[in-house]
A = this chain, B = another copy of it.
Amino acid sequence: MKKIRKDAAEALDGLLFDGMTIMAGGFGLCGIPENLILALRDSGVKDLTIISNNAGVDDFGLGLLLHTRQIKKMVSSYVGENKEFERQYLSGELELEFNPQGTLAERCRAGGAGIPAFYTKTGVGTLIAEGKEHKEFNGETYIMETGLVADLSIVKAWKADPEGNLLYRKTARNFNPMMATAGKATVAEVEEIVSLGDLDPDCIHTPGIFVQRLIKGDHEKRVEQRTVRQRENA
């Protein structure tokens, strides 16, 4: 039970410092570590470099840390849903590094797997390729992208056992598994902590070795685009 912490503040205690790099799981608002983001805000830690596919919305997710200006730089693939982001970026207060989404995902995986760099076709011939090493393989041109690691990774899973084994749910998995491997420390928040042995060992998405601390959180799980269809004859 040594990995389980009382709450998000305690789970981050001693791990934070100004200027640090943090990976945050999630795609849009789906599968984001809501509770740990709130605790980051409350901690006041600043000058953060945040590696996250998106940047939340104005009043939820990573948008909260933009509002308090705790973020110095974002590494993301898409930041379209955030007015405060736009304001800070256009005024030069916020740095932004765009990565193609698949390149970002692979960079996190590589960092966690001890791979300092890899080659990809993605982005060849575009702005993304400028300044990057080009190399031919079998007559095609590829660019080199580097692995990413973070001082801290914060991830959201569905269930965990006390060893830190994690199970994600549906598309809330997204970037969480790779980011869990790429943090010098990784803190996970989950909806439910089950007993040891309750998770199917063939179906553990993140083995506990990658998780140093763990909390049960309360999750609002906000929906960004509620699209529905109507029942016929209803």
Interface residues of A (CB under 8 A from B): 106, 110, 113-121, 135, 137-138, 140, 142, 146, 167-170, 173, 200-203
Q: How many chain copies?
A: 2
Give, as a whole number of angstroms, the nearest-CB distance from A204 to chain B. 9
Question: What CA separation (Å) do A96 and B4 show in the bound complex?
Answer: 49
Please name all residues of chain B whose beta carbon is closer than 8 Å to the beta carbon of A168 when the two chains form the complex: 202
Can you list 23 A-B contacts with CB-CB less than 8 angstroms, sorted by A residue number? Answer: A106-B113, A106-B115, A114-B120, A114-B121, A115-B118, A115-B120, A116-B119, A116-B140, A116-B142, A117-B118, A117-B119, A117-B135, A117-B137, A118-B118, A118-B119, A137-B146, A167-B202, A168-B202, A170-B201, A170-B202, A200-B203, A202-B203, A203-B203
Please name all residues of chain B whose beta carbon is closer than 8 Å to the beta carbon of A115 when the two chains form the complex: 106, 118-120
Please name all residues of chain B whose beta carbon is closer than 8 Å to the beta carbon of A167 when the two chains form the complex: 202
Instruction: Name A110's contact: one of B117, B118, B170 (CB within 8 Å).
Output: B118
